[in-house]
A and B are shown apart, each in its own frame.
Chain A
Amino acid sequence: MLAVCCQSAEELKSEQYFVEGYQLYTTNCSNCHQVDGKGMLNLYPPISGSQTLSDKALLACIIKNGMRDTILVNGRKFSRPMPPNAKLSDIEVAEIVTYVTVKWGKDSIYTKIEAVRSSLANCKKY
């Protein structure tokens, strides 16, 4: 906040997305995946440590459309369906993707709306 004057536009936007993403994550995701991203026992998979964090296109699709599949996360099997979040807008999906990939993945810059938009147009049907 103090450093606003000296940040690049990109850094500023990354911070905005991160903060917005945090709010959206808290509202839409943390009930199951928990605030710390570690999931809940064998009911809901962790996000932190998940390989999906490196596949942003898939991430956007899961956030928006939910999923119905058996997946292996950090060596544990999960098969409970995740409900879709159809009401999330493209920018909101981008903000959540930004939050989780910066927080628990290796990203440091935000995920652009355009990227999310094209990912969402190409989601695989389940």
Chain B
Amino acid sequence: MKLNTLLFNILYLTLLALGILNCNNSDNKLPILGERDWTKKTVDGKEVVDTIYNTIPSFSFVDQNGDTISEAFVKDKIYVTDFFFTTCPTICPVMKRQMIKVYHAYEGNPELKILSHSIDPEHDTPKVLKQYATDLGIQGNQWLFLTGQKEKIYEIGQKSYMVTAKKEQSAEGGYIHSGAFILVDKERHVRGMYDGTTEEGTQKLIADIQTLLSEYKK
């Protein structure tokens, strides 16, 4: 009985704390995800603590049109990113079916881009990706399919976008990778991760994109 009460109190306090956090977040801002670090610096003679958030580093990949795409492409944009490969028989078709919904929800919005990285860049050349995009009915440059140096793609995936992507002989298609859709803001901070294989995850992302975009409408 006592333990029950204690557990109940802990639960109650936790919920309360979460509730308060939510209330403080009057702007309904999305969290900044990933590891963070702190540095001390001096402002006006006072020592203040500065938070260093996980930030997507500079990158350089090649898109389905053969153009080099770097972080400059998403300057002043928010973007959604994921990892896939064109010959994947398992979750990729599902992810692409869901991503199409995200694409259509914001089609033509100059503030939103989609970057899909291939984790099988040796096979997925720009030409292969071009055909894939065309078959998906994607034109223009709002949704780019990226290929490039394999190590670089895996590195940015694992270290910065916090997703799993690796070669695995035993897996169908030869790779295991995450089904996550990752939402990145204009400061290149990760602001949300969603299960791209589910309708719930996709709808949450579509709603959160709106929330994030409205942060910039001041």
Contact = CB atoms under 8 A, between A and B. Distances in A.
B11 interface: no
A88 interface: no
A40 interface: yes
A31 B94 contact: yes
Contacts of B86: 80
B135 A31 contact: no
Nearest to B94: A31
B101 interface: no
A86 B209 CA distance: 41
Nearest to B132: A43
Contacts of B96: 40, 43
Nearest to A79: B131
A42 B134 contact: yes
B93 A43 contact: yes
B29 interface: no
A67 interface: no
Closest 7 CB pairs of A and B: A42-B135, A43-B135, A31-B93, A32-B93, A83-B89, A41-B137, A31-B94
22 contacts: A31-B90, A31-B91, A32-B89, A32-B93, A34-B97, A40-B97, A41-B135, A41-B137, A42-B134, A42-B136, A42-B137, A43-B93, A43-B96, A43-B136, A44-B93, A80-B86, A80-B135, A81-B87, A83-B87, A83-B89, A83-B172, A83-B173
